[in-house]
Structure 1
Amino acid sequence: MITQESIDALKAQLDVVDVVGSYIELKKAGANFKAPCPFHDEKTASFVVSPAKQIYHCFGCGAGGDSIKFTMEYEKLNYPEAIEKLADTYNFTLTYTDKKNNKPRSQVMDKLNEYYQNLLTSRQDASSYLHERGIYESSVEKFGIGYAPDSQSSMNYITSQMFTLKEAVDMGVVGYDNGRYFSRFIERITFPIHSPNGALVGFGGRTISGHQAKYVNSPETPFFNKSRLLYAYHHAKQALHKTKEIIITEGYLDVIMLHQAGFNNAVATLGTALTPEHLPLLRKGEPRVVMAYDGDKAGRAAALKASKLLSAGGFSGGVVIFGGGLDPADMVKDGRVDELASMFRSPKPFIEFVLDEILSLYDLKDPKAKEACMQEAIAYLKTLSPILQEEYKTYLASRLSISPSFVRIAKQTNISQTNTPVMQTSSHRDMWELSLIKTLLEKPHMLTQVLDVLDPSLLQFHQNEFSLLISNQTEHPSIMAISVDESIKVIQNEDELQKELNTFLSKHYNRELKKINIRQDISYEQKGFEIRRLRKLISKLK
């Protein structure tokens, strides 16, 4: 079993926004973050993540909990499996009550990386290639660039370091097929790939021996998912948070050369186009995104796809396309750093880039083609917010040389833009009762003061939630919903609480007094006693 002390230490390192945000895209909404719920189908965002409370809650389906609970539900894992998954992700070493299990995650990848780095200096062809591309020795060291030899040499090194080939397979550095083991990286310059927190999770490799596949990456493992990772993000994250900008390129060498030139906020996708799974990582720090892509057909297609994704996601920024067969690495090598800086300062905005790329695909002299072009552009505009749709109708009309009245975008329905979802746990929301419950959640020392004068039966609408609170069932969905709802205010201090209680009780007893006056099922003497009792209580409150 995993020790409780170890679990508590792991929890202390976890941030629920970071954990949830690594799976789904979160958008800032006041003090919280929100998204469409990943646990049920919905069109509006009713899933809220609270950094202050370190919990998430869905106002639609009631799902809620902490970082571990989310990992369990999303990955379909049991409790120990979720803890081990998070420990691996955040490079945390767990301890177990059974001492035999107290071993850290396999270090085979780290050892192999050291081996690759040491081999680089003895490979003249690899060193010459890097030198010719303009890469400094300091960059070789910073980015941990190495060289992978023939397959058998790599496997011999792995076993000589007392690792098994089975764990090397699990970590993605060795493959197994038809009864034989083989190295994943053979005669290639290696680029270690890290998670956002700096843990080594995979490799990229570039051939220098004429292999048909110029670049290869590690296979998918529990630690390596190329659709969620960005090369050199762990190096760039400090700079991107400082500059509020991130530059995304297509290749490892582009990133390395840009860092050499002072663009320390540069990263690259890992041989894949930008995907929706990248967006949670890009959302961190809310930076301006600059896509720096090659001007060939593949580069422009990738830039178009990324621009559609980013503009629909509400990102600011734009696209820089490199012409003449050049790329960022070439421009740095040629000393054109000032020109690069100017290009990055003035990228083509995503929406304009998308519309212009769509227009370039059609012969606008042909009326039929122009009409088809307009319909494709309108379909794209529908992915944007209503304000942006309205703004870019005019731009599209101008580029098509038609009247803006021809650009008709149907009204969208069932769109909720509110930052605070509506609780669905009660047919009526009494804000005072909810405020009382939230106050006691955040300031439990006030509970005695409340229980001295009030019990759940006195509440009209939220008796159940109050009962859950006083029985310490704070992980119940109804309680979590109250905890993360920003529309519910907290009573600030004990004096204010006392005034609020007096007002509430006065109203309550006056309601009871009216009920007694019209009751027909009790005797005159009993009615008189109840009336005197209630008037005495009201008088005391006054």
Structure 2
Amino acid sequence: MLERVDIIEVIGRYTRLERRGREYVGLCPFHREKTPSFYVDPEKGVYHCFGCGASGNVITFISEIEGISRAEAVRYLAEMFNIDLKDVKLPSSGRRDKLYQILSTAKQFYKSNLLRNRDVMEYLRGRGLTPESIAEWEIGYSPDGHSLIRFLLKEGFNTRDILESGVAYSKGGDVRDMMAGRVVFPIYDTTGRVVSFGGRSIDGRSPKYLNGRDTKIFKKSTLLYGLHRAKRQAREKGYFYLVEGYFDVIVMHQYGYDTAVAPLGTSFTPEHARLLYRFAPKVFIVPDGDEAGTKAARRIAATLAAAGIVPQVVPLPEGEDPASYLLKGMSLPEPVDAVDFILGERPSDPVEMRNRLREVMPLLKAFRSSDRTIYEYYARKVSDWAGYRVDVSERVLTPKRGGGIKEMHRILILAYYYGLLDELRRIVERTPTKSDLIHRIRLALKEGLEFGEFYERLKPQEAAVVHGEIPPVEEVRGALSRMMAELDDLKLKETAYAGDVEALLELYRRRVSRLKETEVKAE
């Protein structure tokens, strides 16, 4: 086995390796690191990480990375490299093998019951699944709480093993099928073995979706639905689509999006992110088109970024999910950067601007923890959007008494300042005058000065304008006076309202209201 298996090819499926002399080096797939410390020697057929100490041969590697026994690792590699093991006697994996056998037998039971239940087949077709997909994904049905248990006992399995496999639970001595009355989706590990089941209620019972509990061979937080089918295509294409549920995954595959995967009814975890990164460097999040989907996309994006993946989001129209959208004959929209998805267009409302900046902060922090270059790129992008330098090291977006008021002040001023500045720019550009003040304003506007610079540059002229020393230019005087009055007012009130964000916001609203009243009176 060790002579016939290419250790570089195997390990190269989990981390990117670069040749360095007679060895290959890459980031360790067993722990997070920024500087490569994982070395593979193809001549000796061994690997070693100087960071975490992981080491061994290709069988050890597969056993550790996939969480399987050495015997199972041998079988896995034999299948990968078409090695005949019929004359090789491998040690039994004991109880784990027994659990796999129970789950495989249960899968066949569920499948046969689905074929006998026309109503459930019609339900699946109504959800957009083709007969081919139903067969390929080995979907089944559990008719009641006891039929499976009787079948497994008849097949020679005992109650203890049935309970340990996770397909059943015991209540008051009564052993019942976990998936009773549900459409059943087999859940596979990365090697393609059934390790658990997920169920979907079709009669209104709660919960709508139910996943098997964690067992010796199944942990929800480390597996993704559809990965056993998507990983090969993802490795070739370089990306995954990440969706919410079973139906989304299957319909995505039906329509050619064959790298789609989904979490198993749990939050997306760092383990999930690292699992995806083994096979592809990109992930396109396809959230449902609602508020819950948007919030989930933000959380997932930050988790992916922390694992070194630059996430993108495929935005769907309001009320759509991936399956419903594709079944209408539509193609998925092009993905956008997660940062752009979260920020959107720059709002005129300063409170909404503050909220968007808060929402993007976890993603920026995740980038900073995983890749400084990527972080700097997106920090500049967010800064350009905000109109000032954004740095996640500053405690600026969680205003607390005495803490974040300075940043809140900046956000409010910037949001209002740029609106007034645009107004002033339009007025100055169409004002036919040789006034020295107008000339200086034009220069300042052309230079695109930041708030502080522009404010200081024009301060000396404020008195002249306010006192009417340039009476011919009434429109400019009015716009500039309004801008300076607003900025001065916010700046002077900062100390009085230090720490009280709500009071500052109320002040801002009152000042805008007074400004509008003044404009109405002027008209």
In the TM superposition, residue 116 of structure 1 has moved relative to its aligned partner by 0.9
Q: Which residue of 1 aligns with 2:299?
A: 305
Specify the code of the residue in structure 1 equivalent to 2:303.
L
Contact 1:247 1:266 (C-alpha < 8 Å) held by counterparts = yes
Contact 2:187 2:194 (C-alpha < 8 Å) held by counterparts = yes
Deviations, residues 394-441 of structure 1 (Å, cap 9, x unaligned): 3212222x23xx334669xxxxxxxxxxxxxxxxxxxxxxxxxxxxxx
Specify the code of the residue in structure 2 equivalent to 1:261.
Y
Q: Which residue of 2 aligns with 1:407?
A: 390
Specify the code of the residue in structure 1 equivalent to 2:144.
D
Contact 1:206 1:215 (C-alpha < 8 Å) held by counterparts = yes
Deviations, residues 271-327 of structure 1 (Å, cap 9, x unaligned): 123211123331234343111111223222221111112223332451113232111
Distance 1:46 1:126, change over 3 A: same
Output the CA distance in 1 between the equivalents of 2:226 and 2:102. Answer: 21
Q: Which residue of 2 aligns with 1:164?
A: 158
Contact 2:26 2:37 (C-alpha < 8 Å) held by counterparts = no
In the TM superposition, residue 366 of structure 1 has moved relative to its aligned partner by 8.6
Q: Which residue of 2 aligns with 1:422?
A: none
| Residue aligned with 2:286, SS | strand
Count of residues in Structure 1 that have an aligned counterpart in Structure 2: 383
In the TM superposition, residue 122 of structure 1 has moved relative to its aligned partner by 2.4
Specify which of 368, 375, 399 is matched with residue 382 of structure 1. Answer: 368
Distance 1:184 1:17, change over 3 A: farther
Contact 1:37 1:47 (C-alpha < 8 Å) held by counterparts = no
Describe how 1:346-425 pairs up with structure 2 within 5 A: 346-354=334-342, 364-365=350-351, 379-380=365-366, 382-400=368-386, 402-403=387-388, 406-408=389-391
In the TM superposition, residue 378 of structure 1 has moved relative to its aligned partner by 5.9
Q: Which residue of 2 aligns with 1:83?
A: 70
Verify: 1:153 aligned to 2:147, yes or no: yes
Output the CA distance in 1 between the equivalents of 2:266 and 2:201. Answer: 18
Contact 1:229 1:278 (C-alpha < 8 Å) held by counterparts = yes
Q: Which residue of 2 aligns with 1:35?
A: 28
Normalized against structure 1, the TM-score is what?
0.60
Output the CA distance in 2 between the equivalents of 1:102 and 1:349. Answer: 42
Contact 2:343 2:356 (C-alpha < 8 Å) held by counterparts = no
Output the CA distance in 1 between the equivalents of 2:169 and 2:6. Answer: 32
Contact 2:343 2:360 (C-alpha < 8 Å) held by counterparts = no
Q: Which residue of 1 aligns with 2:56?
A: 65
Output the CA distance in 2 between the equivalents of 1:103 and 1:212. Answer: 33
Distance 1:63 1:177, change over 3 A: same
Contact 2:146 2:175 (C-alpha < 8 Å) held by counterparts = no
In the TM superposition, residue 83 of structure 1 has moved relative to its aligned partner by 3.1
Describe how 1:40-119 pairs up with structure 2 within 5 A: 46-48=37-39, 53-60=44-51, 64-66=55-57, 82-83=69-70, 86=73, 95=89, 106-119=100-113
Distance 1:73 1:91, change over 3 A: closer
Verify: 1:255 aligned to 2:249, yes or no: yes
| Residue aligned with 1:293, SS | coil
Contact 2:63 2:72 (C-alpha < 8 Å) held by counterparts = no
In the TM superposition, residue 260 of structure 1 has moved relative to its aligned partner by 1.5
Q: Which moved more, 1:237-246 or 1:199-208?
A: 237-246
Specify the code of the residue in structure 2 equivalent to 1:107.
Q
| Residue aligned with 1:211, SS | coil
Specify the code of the residue in structure 2 equivalent to 1:64.
S
Distance 1:114 1:70, change over 3 A: closer
Output the CA distance in 2 between the equivalents of 1:372 and 1:52. Answer: 51
In the TM superposition, residue 198 of structure 1 has moved relative to its aligned partner by 1.3
Normalized against structure 2, the TM-score is what?
0.62
Describe how 1:181-192 pairs up with structure 2 within 5 A: 181-192=175-186
> Greater relative contact order (Cα 8 A, min sep 6): structure 1 or 2?
1
Describe how 1:85-484 pairs up with structure 2 within 5 A: 86=73, 95=89, 106-336=100-330, 339-340=331-332, 343=333, 346-354=334-342, 364-365=350-351, 379-380=365-366, 382-400=368-386, 402-403=387-388, 406-408=389-391
Deviations, residues 501-538 of structure 1 (Å, cap 9, x unaligned): xxxxxxxxxxxxxxxxxxxxxxxxxxxxxxxxxxxxxx
Structure 2 gaps, min length 5? 80-84, 395-523
Output the CA distance in 1 between the equivalents of 2:264 and 2:122. Answer: 24
In the TM superposition, residue 44 of structure 1 has moved relative to its aligned partner by 5.7
Contact 1:291 1:303 (C-alpha < 8 Å) held by counterparts = yes
Specify the code of the residue in structure 1 equivalent to 2:190.
P
Contact 1:311 1:350 (C-alpha < 8 Å) held by counterparts = no
Output the CA distance in 2 between the equivalents of 1:230 and 1:195. Answer: 8
In the TM superposition, residue 148 of structure 1 has moved relative to its aligned partner by 0.7
Output the CA distance in 1 between the equivalents of 2:91 and 2:266. Answer: 42
- CA RMSD after TM alignment: 4.2
Structure 1 gaps, min length 5? 1-7, 412-542
Distance 1:19 1:371, change over 3 A: closer
In the TM superposition, residue 141 of structure 1 has moved relative to its aligned partner by 0.7
Output the CA distance in 1 between the equivalents of 2:230 and 2:173. Answer: 41
Specify the code of the residue in structure 2 equivalent to 1:154.
L
Specify the code of the residue in structure 2 equivalent to 1:353.
F
Distance 1:26 1:178, change over 3 A: farther
Contact 2:37 2:51 (C-alpha < 8 Å) held by counterparts = yes
Distance 1:316 1:17, change over 3 A: farther
Distance 1:49 1:410, change over 3 A: farther
Output the CA distance in 2 between the equivalents of 1:370 and 1:149. Answer: 48
Contact 2:188 2:196 (C-alpha < 8 Å) held by counterparts = yes
In the TM superposition, residue 13 of structure 1 has moved relative to its aligned partner by 7.2
| Residue aligned with 1:144, SS | coil
Contact 2:342 2:356 (C-alpha < 8 Å) held by counterparts = no
Output the CA distance in 1 between the equivalents of 2:9 and 2:361. Answer: 38
